[in-house]
A and B are shown apart, each in its own frame.
Chain A
Amino acid sequence: MSNPSENRIFSLICLLMVLSVFVWCYLFRFFLDASAPLQGDAYPYLGHIRFYVENMMRGVYPLWDPTRENGNFNEFFLRRIGEFNPFFWLIAFLNKSGIPFAVAHRIFLGAYYFLGIAGFYLLSRRLFHDQRISFMAALLLFFSSLGAKTFESYILLEIVPAIWFFYFLIAFIQTPRRISLLGAVFGLMIINITYIPFYFYTVLSVFLFYFVIVYATAIKALYRRVKDFWSHNKMFSLVCAGLFVVSLIPGILWYQAACQGEVFSKERHAGSFNANPATVGINKVNEGGVLTYLIMDRQFVNLDKLELADFYIPLFAFLMLVAGAWVRLNRLLIFLFLFGFTIFLIGLADASCVHAFLYRHMPFFKYFRNVQFFLWLAVLPAFILFCAQQMRIFIQDCERSAVDRRWATLWVTAVHVGAAALFAHCGTVGYATYAVVIFSLGWMLGQIWAVGNQRVWILLVWAGIILQPFDVYDRLSAIYPPSPEKIFAYDFRYEPGIPSVEQANKLLAFKEKLLGHDAAKKQPYFTTRWFQEAIARFDDRILMNYQSAPFIVYDSVRRVDEDGAGFARIERSMAGFENVAFVYSDEVSVGNSRPQSKARIIAGTDKDFEALKFDANDVSVRTSFSEPKFLVRVANYHSQWRAFVDGTPAPLFRTNVFAQGLWVPAGEHLIQWRFGAPWRYALAYVFVVLYPIVLGSVLWLWFRSRASTQK
């Protein structure tokens, strides 16, 4: 970019980008300052992120979540967010600096989105080698509904690394360099630790498939370039391959945990014929998918009703699309069309035969639903790149005087007048829409006749692109008025120390209020299969009352079979807190045959019971019972829980269908419960350190390569 005029244009683009960031922040101000609550999936994801970050700030890697559904295996939710993503540390840093967590999280969302847009701009630069067109493409994506989706969905966590991956991949294809390879691998590493990387791998598969077809003639040269790179960077390439393989481990561990069948998501798994609880039934998949209503209802008209979940692309893109209908085809256009259209067909679920075919023949398609997310993940960026490429060819032809200016003027004017007439006919569009049509027409005519200053045209394009989104998103504050942030379940219970009966009751009351009568424990989204069984078998009130006790001390134990007999008896015992626990093991000793009538509920410290430690994965208490007691911790049983008496492993039994129980000898003893094997935590901490190191390496290589380029 040694050309001074190009430099000036670049400076202007940078300035306008910064200005756009301010405009975007202004439009979403109520979400960014956390005065309006997050919507849809973004809200539970805030919960997962908050639980993870707050625990990590306490030095605890939370493999177990004691606050969710009576205690839950947290791997599923950690995979949801991809907990090793080093950018989460920004939240921790901001929070430590005194910013409330909710605001810190919103700042993270905004910053992460800007990072994605910056990646998209660079990706466009790689594709088009034209900073004006790249600026337009980035701006169109910036003010599309992807930005609104930030506060309504979790798609941001997938799309930002995906954009950067494709940027580095294209860079590597063009010129194989270390920074490109490591950058692409780092993008994959982040995507791999999310529990459904399959969205991305579907997109990548389609990308590679069409790349090989459309760019078949370039494959040979590419192979030579890659071979040359490999011969000079063998060790580096192997390290990158190793990083990629290592990043698959958390996903594999989660898959193995799912295969064991101890945890279960009834909602996801319903209707699946596959034994693996991680799979999703085809009917569940078909509930989602791209809908015509979702795409078209608020695209051109009814914009005053646009909500966060609605699909929206600034009008300027459509004007570019139609106005560029007569530009010459080239390989990139064909590639983007085939890529985007195929992903769109997959996203339609049962409305097209493509998804059904893939569901039948591609195993990984059985593991994810909500295929409408493809709309944002691939179709939207591909569509914008397609429009941008059209305009690039259009401008190039204009500059080379390769178009018949009169015909081009006629066509472009007809498109814009037609659009304006259509909007006038519909009657439900604002003035901003007409202004965009005028700006777009002015800009395109300016390009056709090659008049005016390029910087002025860039300003006009900027105004033309952001004007309509400004009008549209400025109304969001009326749709989502400021209101207090919703409360999380674990706000009540997750305090270091042992939960009291009062705390537990408060939590249950809160859940009931939040979810409606009896919904507090009905149909949890994801829980252990035994708690699911308890919900199905036991009366709601009895179970909730029993759950409110943190610890219960019994004198005797009765063995029960796995065949499901005796639920009525267990329920009766739980209802009256009878002094007998029901254990699913033949190895347990039964204890006192004539016990007292009532079991003893312990909440907090007592004369012979002292709570020492309570965090996500560890619970320690000191007991000094006068005789052996069977101590039940009313938290969900999972085979990864281990118990220790004075540091020695002790058998832990599944008790009363879903809880954990163990025999505690008489006298003073230290009782500990620990979740997960030590190697699992060691591995997690290795990942916690590894990801920032790789990010640091990417940045270091980036700046080094830029410095060497400038030299």
Chain B
Amino acid sequence: MVMVSFQSVYAKIIDLVFRRVILLFVLAVLLSFVLINHNTLKVKTLNYLLPSSADMKDFRNRPAQMSREKLKNFLIYYRTMCGFVTRDAEEPAPCGITGYAYYYFGKENQAIEYYKRAIKLNSHFFWFYYNLGVIYYNKNDYHQAAEYFAHALGIRPENSMYFLVLTKTYRDMFKLLGLMPGDYESSLDQGYALAKILYMNSQLLNEKPQLRTQIGRQRADLQLF
């Protein structure tokens, strides 16, 4: 009796595991792991999404004036790259750039989310903190803005330079834009100077809300590097 019931259970298991369509689904997944080079697939996808290099200059210098369509191309490209890049050293860069693209695409919350994600991955890069500070500053959240500007000012410039020089995502951008190390070094200098001003402004506006109508209307711009 026990034998018969065992046989019927065994037959049921065989039927369920080997004679059902789900077996093909499992097979498809296994074959995909064996036969598909997922890294190549990612590179192909990124190549497919690569925005026009002619728009790179506008993306860095005049993102607010770019058409939504062109901005969207950058957004999709870097957002996809975020999901693909897994090397620790490389990952924060596309996250930060995605935050930048989101901001000019009019989606502040997503921009903040991506900048925070970038900071979590690399907390020694000036521009992530600076841009996050600017977003909060433009949102009139001066308390948060001051906090991020303070963080930014506390970062040693050589750490940021180190990150810029060693990250392929940025190096590719420098190549497209024809920038030399001196160019983004001076940009970093200006960034620190601006961060100081904005930090002081944020503190002032945070402490004296009555001044907000006078100073607070000025908006600052995000910067890639």
Stretch at the interface among B17-25, B98-106, B169-177: B17-25
- B36 in the interface, Cβ–Cβ < 8 Å? yes
Q: How many A-B residue pairs have CB under 8 A?
A: 64
A390 in the interface, Cβ–Cβ < 8 Å?
Answer: yes
By secondary structure, the A interface counts as: helix
Known A329-B19, A333-B21, A353-B35: A287·B47 in contact at CB below 8 Å? yes
Interface size class of B (residues with CB under 8 A): 20 to 34
A354 contacts the other chain (CB 8 A)? yes
Binary CB contact string for chain B from 2 to 35 against chain A (1 if under 8 A, 0 otherwise): 0000000000000010011111110110010001
Q: Are A326 and B22 in contact (CB under 8 A)?
A: yes
Query: B41 on the interface (CB 8 Å rule)?
Result: yes
B213 CB–A CB distance under 8 Å: no
Given the complex of chains A and B, what is the CA–CA distance between A293 and B35 in angstroms?
Answer: 19
In the complex the two chains form, what is the Cα distance from A329 to B37 in whole Å? Answer: 29
Is the beta-carbon distance between A352 and B20 smaller than 8 angstroms? no
Smallest Cβ-Cβ distance to A337: which chain B residue: B24
Task: Collect the chain A residues with CB atoms within 8 Å of residue B16's CB.
Answer: 326
Given the known interface contacts A293-B49, A341-B28, the answer about A351 and B44 at a Cβ–Cβ threshold of 8 Å is: yes
| B21 near A351: Cβ-Cβ < 8 Å | no
Tell me how far the C-beta of B3 lies from the nearest C-beta in chain A, rounded to whole angstroms.
24
Q: Which residues of chain B are within 8 angstroms of A626 by Cβ–Cβ distance?
A: none
Interface set, chain B 36-59, CB cutoff 8 A to A: 36-38, 40-42, 44-45, 47-49
Q: Using a CB-CB cutoff of 8 Å, which residues 142-157 of chain B contact chain A?
A: none
Q: Mark A220-241, 1 if CB is under 8 A from B, else 0.
A: 0000000000000000000000
A-chain residues with CB within 8 Å of residue B23 when the two chains form the complex: 329
Q: A334 contacts the other chain (Cβ, under 8 Å)?
A: yes
Interfacial chain B residues near A570, Cβ < 8 Å = none
Q: Is B80 an interface residue (CB 8 A)?
A: yes
The residue of chain A having its C-beta at the shortest distance from the C-beta of B47 within the complex is A287
Point out the residues of chain B lying under 8 angstroms from A699, CB to CB. none
Within 8 A of B (CB), among A323-381: 324-329, 333-334, 337, 341, 345, 348-354
Does chain B have a CB within 8 A of A289?
Answer: yes
Q: Which residues of B contact A353 (CB under 8 A)?
A: 35, 37
Provided the pairs A352-B35, A352-B36 are in contact, do residues A291 and B45 lie with their beta carbons within 8 angstroms? yes
* Chain A residues with CB under 8 A of B24: 329, 333-334, 337
Chain A residues in 8 Å Cβ range of B19: 328-329
Query: What residues on B are CB-neighbors of A293 within 8 Å?
Result: 45, 48-49, 80
A324/B40 in contact, CB under 8 A: no
**Any chain B CB within 8 A of the CB of A294?**
yes
Q: Contacts A294-B48, A337-B28, A353-B35; is A348 near B41 (CB within 8 Å)?
A: yes
A292 interfacial contact with B, CB 8 Å: yes
Nearest CB in chain A to that of B46: its residue: A293
Known: A341-B28, A352-B36, A354-B35. A329 touches B44 (CB 8 A): no
Complex Cα distance, B20 from A390, in Å, reads 10
Q: How far is the CB of A394 from chain B (nearest CB, A)?
A: 10
Question: Is the beta-carbon distance between B48 and A327 smaller than 8 angstroms?
Answer: no
Chain A residues with CB under 8 A of B31: 341, 345
CB-CB under 8 A from B47, the residues of chain A are: 287
Chain A neighbourhood of B35, CB < 8 A: 345, 352-354
Which residues on the B side are within 8 Å of A341 (C-beta)?
A: 28, 31
Q: A293-B80, A354-B35 are in contact. Are A349 and B21 (CB under 8 A)?
A: no
Residue from A289, A292, A337 whose CB has the most chain B CB atoms within 10 Å: A292
Whether the Cβ atoms of A350 and B28 lie closer than 8 Å is no
The answer on a CB contact under 8 Å between A291 and B21 is no
Is the Cβ of B40 less than 8 Å from the Cβ of A350? yes
A266-305: contact bitstring with B at CB < 8 Å (1 yes, 0 no)?
0000000000000000000011010111100000000000
Check A291/B48 contact, CB under 8 A, given A351-B36, A352-B36, A352-B37. Answer: yes
A292 in complex: contacting residue of B20, B27, B45, CB < 8 Å: B45
Contact with B along A76-117 (1 / 0, CB 8 A): 000000000000000000000000000000000000000000
Whether A291 lies near B44 (C-beta < 8 A) is yes
In whole angstroms, how far apart are the Cα atoms of A349 and B41 in the complex? 9
Say which residue of B21, B27, B42, B80 sits within 8 Å of A325 (CB atoms).
B21
B19 to A, closest residue via Cβ: A329
CB distance from A697 to the nearest CB of B (A): 41
Tell me which residues across on chain B come within 8 A of A325, comparing CB atoms. 20-22, 25
17 contacts between A and B (CB under 8 A): A287-B47, A289-B44, A291-B44, A291-B48, A293-B80, A294-B48, A325-B22, A326-B16, A327-B21, A333-B21, A337-B27, A348-B41, A349-B44, A351-B36, A351-B37, A351-B40, A351-B41
List residues of B whose CB falls within 8 A of some A CB.
Answer: 16, 19-25, 27-28, 31, 35-38, 40-42, 44-45, 47-49, 80
Chain A residues near B (Cβ < 8 Å): 286-287, 289, 291-294, 324-329, 333-334, 337, 341, 345, 348-354, 390
- Which 5 A/B pairs are nearest by Cβ-Cβ distance? A351-B41, A351-B40, A293-B45, A325-B22, A337-B24
